[in-house]
Amino acid sequence: MFNKGFKCTAVVRRLIPWIVLTKVMLVLYCLTATRQVNISPTQEKTCPLSVAKTSPGDITGSPDSKQDCSPKVNIMFMKTHKTASSTILNILYRFGEKHKLRFALPDRRNDFCYPQPFLCSQVKDYRPGECFNIVCNHMRFNYQEVSKLLPPNALYVTILRDPVDLFESAFHYYQKIIPLTWSISGNNKLTEFLNNPEAFYSPEAINSFYLKNLLFFDFGFDNNLKVNDPRVMKEIQYVSKRFHLVLIAEYFEESLILLKDLLCWSMEDILYFKLNVRRTSSVSRLDPETRAKALQWNWADWKLYEHFNATFWERVEAYGRTRMERDVKELKRRNAEMRATCIEGGDAVEAQRIKDTHFKPWQPIGEKSIMGYNLRNDINPERRSICAKMLTPEIQYLSDLGVNLWVTRLWGWLKDYIL
């Protein structure tokens, strides 16, 4: 009896900080939620092409692109969760900053009030009728509102990942902010969850959206649609109509080449280092049976991925397999050169070994599983700036772009020093 009472007390004590944290974050949410600005839904009256910046004169297109191709600067990148989207974000930040483009940035935090549907009023210093070039931070997609920020010729791009691997990553990263998972026993909570997901899941529960069809939720859809619900295909067709290009995380270099081609950018514009990557030892290796359960549980996401994986390879075929292989090889060569130039030791290191806090990535609660980089000390001054920008995580880059992230930083302090 004594042992049971002791265990119960210990569990309650562990839950108290979470209960307090939840209340604090709800208060912060109320403080940071912005009212919707009433503006005309007609896109021409909100951001007409005639007043938008379309192609700065100092940008030159890709040398192997069509002669009539001019670099594109009006871009909406739908940043999905746990899909290598942070690396794409860094590419967009660097391009936009280099060419003095205008970003629609979040205010006081690093996302647009996620998981609330996106509203124009969530944009930092927004005024009705203003035009922006790039929208790229986390949001719950809402086309009617996003389209008010961009000119009609804007290109819409997003990225998907195999839903089973995405589910594993999201479960690992977010489980400590999902109360539904706290009662799962055993060392392998993910497997226990998938053995009987309905026992640990409720659509109305706090942060439950991280546990099921997270891609569908990010796009603004109902993530609780049943298997074979016809609305799933309807929503997939909606994404197909709205987005000009859907990248696939498992084929990242090929995706970047297609993005470069769509935007008429140069190879230099798409060079990258992998950001926000977990150390290998923290990744759960799922057996075939568990993977099948995860796929069934995330059926809507699987159908979404299946559809756009097929259209992705149609785009590759249209681009040309031989040409794609050549360009991917060149991209890898250029990336290897930058790694040797910029990164101390040439590769990512664990968080504890990162020397400069400016390059330390955001970590999940109670862990240091996200890796980062150390900048070499002997870099040529001409290369030092671009190297540093390529290594800079999202939070620090947003601060560099002028966003006051006091809500995000307070949350970071709570998770690192209180919990």
Cα–Cα nearest to 356, from 394, 396, 386 = 396
pLDDT of residue 72: 97
pLDDT of residue 1: 41
- In sequence order, which residues have a C-beta less than 8 Å from that of residue 137 and are 6 or more positions away? 79, 89, 105, 106, 110, 111, 112, 398
Q: Which residues of 199-233 are buried (b: 16+ CB within 10 A; e: fewer)?
A: ebbeeeeeebbbbbbbbbbbbbbebbbeeeeeebe
Torsion of CA 54, 59, 60, 65, to 10 degrees: -40
Three-class HEC string of the chain: CHHHHHHHHHHHHHHHHHHHHHHHHHHHHHHHCCCCCCCCCCHHHCCCHHHCCCCCCCCCCCCCCCCCCCCCCCEEEECCCCCCHHHHHHHHHHHHHHCCCCEECECCCCECCCCCECCHHHECCCCCCCCCCEECCECECCHHHHCCCCCCCCEEEEEECCHHHHHHHHHHHHHHHCHHHCCCCCCCHHHHHHHCHHHHCCCCCCCHHHHCCHHHHHCCCCCCCCCCCHHHHHHHHHHHHHCCEEEEHHHHHHHHHHHHHHHCCCHHHHCCCCCCCECHHHCCCCCHHHHHHHHHHCHHHHHHHHHHHHHHHHHHHHHCHHHHHHHHHHHHHHHHHHHHHHEHHHCCECHHHCCCHHHCCCCCCCCCCECECCECCCCCHHHHHHHHHHHCCHHHHHHHCCCCCHHHHHHHHHHHHHC
Lookup: tokens for 328: 């991917």
Measured between alpha carbons, how far is 290 from 190 in angstroms, rounded to an integer?
9
Instruction: Tell the CATH topology of 70-418.
Output: Rossmann fold (3.40.50)
Number of other CB atoms surrounding residue 68 within 10 Å: 7
> For the whole model, what pTM was predicted?
0.89
pLDDT of residue 282: 86
pLDDT tens, N- to C-terminus, the chain (419 residues): 434 443 444 544 554 455 455 545 544 544 444 443 333 344 445 676 544 555 554 455 555 555 468 999 999 999 999 999 999 999 999 999 999 999 999 999 999 999 999 999 999 999 999 999 999 999 999 999 999 999 999 999 999 999 999 999 999 999 999 999 999 988 899 999 999 999 999 999 999 999 999 999 999 999 999 999 999 999 999 999 999 999 999 999 999 999 999 999 999 999 999 999 999 888 989 999 999 999 999 999 999 999 999 999 999 999 999 999 999 999 999 999 999 999 999 999 999 999 999 999 999 988 889 999 999 999 999 999 999 999 999 999 999 999 999 888 888 888 776 65
pLDDT in tens, 185-205: 888 999 999 999 999 999 999
pLDDT of residue 17: 59
Sole residue written with tokens 């790229």: 136
pLDDT in tens, 18-73: 545 554 554 454 444 444 333 334 444 567 654 455 555 445 555 555 546 899 99
pLDDT of residue 367: 84
pLDDT in tens, 61-89: 555 555 468 999 999 999 999 999 999 99
pLDDT of residue 235: 98
Lookup: tokens for 60: 């030159």
Name residue 244's amino acid: H
pLDDT of residue 57: 47
What are the C-alpha distances in Å from 410 to residues 24, 109, 351? Answer: 10, 10, 20
pLDDT of residue 60: 53
Measured between alpha carbons, how far is 88 from 97 in angstroms, rounded to an integer?
14
pLDDT of residue 98: 97
pLDDT in tens, 391-409: 999 999 999 999 999 888 8
